[in-house]
Amino acid sequence: MKGPTPEFPQIPDKVYFRIGEVSHLVGVDTHVLRYWESEFSLIKPFRGPSKQRLYRRQDVHNLLRIKQLLHDEGYTISGARKHLKHLEIDQQPGMVRNEPGSSGSVTTSSFLIGIKQELREILTQLSNAKKSDS
């Protein structure tokens, strides 16, 4: 039942998205997003001071991929979870496959490199926003 991969919609150039915005971008109701958050460990929205869910760009991209797997490619929740976990292992730098004596987790240095890259992206976006306000 797997078909061609559809194009994802353009994600606005923002750091955080509220659940209503994400619902509109992904094309599912907010209760579906909350359910997927409970089923897929890679979806972890930040909670701001108002306790409202704030999704990052990567969360939105992951939600679009989950929707594609479930709605377009016919995966079950369990199958989509396994598929994404397999992709995550294959695509992470420094990731070790489940070898004897290995925990199968990202090395500390590659994790920190990822954080550093994300912080640089945030800094760039803040700089661009400051320039446009002037």
CATH number at residue 4: 1.10.1660.10
The answer to whether residues 120 and 87 belong to one domain is no
The answer to whether residues 85 and 106 belong to one domain is no
Structural domain range at position 112: 96-134
What does the buried/exposed string (b/e) look like for 91-116 if buried means 16 or more CB atoms within 10 Å of the residue's CB?
Answer: eeeeeeeeeeeeeeebeeeeeeeeee
What number is the average pLDDT over the span 58-64? 92
The answer to whether residues 87 and 100 belong to one domain is no
CA 84/CA 57 separation, integer angstroms: 17
The answer to whether residues 33 and 79 belong to one domain is yes
The answer to whether residues 82 and 104 belong to one domain is no
The answer to whether residues 85 and 100 belong to one domain is no
- Structural domains in the chain (count): 2
pLDDT of residue 1: 41
Global pTM? 0.61
| Number of CB atoms found within 10 A of residue 131's CB | 8
The answer to whether residues 87 and 103 belong to one domain is no
The answer to whether residues 67 and 106 belong to one domain is no
Residue matched to tokens 């704030």: 54
94: Cβ contacts below 8 Å, ≥ 6 apart: 106, 107, 109, 110
The answer to whether residues 26 and 52 belong to one domain is yes
pLDDT grade for 89, boundaries at 50, 70 and 90: low
Whether residue 25 has pLDDT greater than 90 = yes
The answer to whether residues 51 and 110 belong to one domain is no
The answer to whether residues 104 and 39 belong to one domain is no
31 to 17, 27, 37, 52, 58: CA distances (angstroms):
16, 12, 10, 14, 19
pLDDT of residue 124: 85
- Tens-digit pLDDT profile for residues 36-47: 999 999 999 989
